[in-house]
Amino acid sequence: MELGEPFAAGREADVYALDVSRVLRRYRTGTDVQREAEVMAYVGGLGYPVPEVFEAGGTDMVMERLDGPTLAQAAHSGELSIPDATAILADLLRRLHELPPRGNSRGGGGTSGGGTSGGGTSSGGGGGTSGGGNNSEGGSGEGGNSGSGNGETIVHLDLHPENVLLSRRGPVVIDWCNAGDGPGDLDTALSALILAQVATGAIEHPLNAGAGAMMELFLQLAPGDPLRLLDEAAAFRRRQLTMLPDEIAKVGTAVGRLRATGRTEGGAVRWFNLTLRFGLELCAFAALAYGGWHVPGAVWVRILAAVALPVVAAVVWGRWVAPKASHPIPDPLRLVPEWVVFGGATAALLATGHLVLAAMLAVLAAGNRWALHASRTGTDGEPA
């Protein structure tokens, strides 16, 4: 088959259009795509958004063609706001880390880098393709262990805005050459570090101006602890074969930026958000349990209602509402001393608890008054 010229290319891979629904990604460095294809098939089978792989062997992978801009392109053009783009990135990481590990591979096993840029032409008039990640941000690491730590799951190890395509079927994650089993915190740290590299100018990218805000918001919304395995993430980045010497030399600058930001956003502000949210959720579930216990009916009905109401609410909240309810803390709060933030969160939590308790007591008192009134009157309102 005559492939012609690639319509998208990166540092070590080219993407060719086969037809309107398929593309061929071909590594120029001899990288075997079999493991990458297996990971993509595994996560895709669990419902995670990845391009469908039709064939994989040697350096070639035939996969679904996806037309649309990358997340970075959408954020840069204004099609998406920085908070919305960051929330999408954090949600994709969270969903990935909820998947069980495969149990037979570790991330970071790639020997060559990087996929392709997201800016190729497409039949739909959008920007990206399913070929792979941006050649200035992504890349694969050297073989071997991807990191240490508990909580192993499936990790991508190169999940950044250029490796997310906004296709017709929603955001789709591409460029899985580093993927495998590993600690989720390492995956999160790498995403944060790549954003920091762009924010500090260590990596040249059109999103340089907005990457700082995206990095700060990402530290608040990201799953796990983005800073716990930051040193391991920095070592991983320095080993990546697609990193230029100047980019490697500036990894430390990006790490410093992350740590400086994390002391506020990742410390007091994160504590404020999580503590207040947990307190509100706990009070709400307690109120539902209390209300369920006081429904009319037999004891078993009341017990069932007291258990079922908060459980159903927790499932609905955790599955559909909470992932979309994380909002960045307002900018002025970042200027407030940490002790004020901690104190404010504690006071707000206590005040909320007291308000909920007062509401419960008011409802109980009203119910008692109604019961007393009912016992003293007949059905026609006359005294019994």
pLDDT of amino acid 207: 80
Q: Which residues of the chain have pLDDT under 70?
A: 1-2, 104-151, 263-285, 292, 314-355, 357, 378-384
Report pLDDT for 278. 63
Map tokens 């490697």 to a residue: 248
pTM (2 decimals)? 0.62
* pLDDT recorded at residue 210: 80
Residue 97 near residue 223, CB atoms below 8 Å: yes
- For 334-355, give the DSSP string: GGS-HHHHHHHHHHHHHHHHHH
The answer to whether 62 touches 51, Cβ cutoff 8 Å, is no
Phi, psi (degrees; rounded to nearest 5) at 52: -70, 135
Helices (H), the chain: 34-45, 71-77, 82-97, 184-199, 208-221, 230-239, 245-249, 251-262, 270-293, 299-316, 338-376
Please report the pLDDT score of residue 145 as a whole number: 35
Gap between the Cα atoms of 291 and 344, Å rounded? 29
Task: Give the per-residue pLDDT at 368.
Answer: 72
The reported pLDDT for the residue numbered 84 is 92
Q: What is the pLDDT of residue 166?
A: 95
Q: pLDDT at position 315, please?
A: 67
Q: Give the Cα separation of 128 and 51 in Å (integer).
A: 13
Helix residue ranges, H only, 49-151: 71-77, 82-97
* Per-residue confidence (pLDDT) for residue 299, from 0 to 100: 77
pLDDT tens readout for residues 254-291: 999 898 887 544 445 555 555 556 666 666 667 777 77
State pLDDT tens for residues 112-158: 333 333 333 333 334 455 554 444 444 444 433 333 334 589 999 99
Cα(69)–Cα(165) distance, integer angstroms:
6
Contact predicate 318/95, CB 8 Å = no
pLDDT at 101: 93
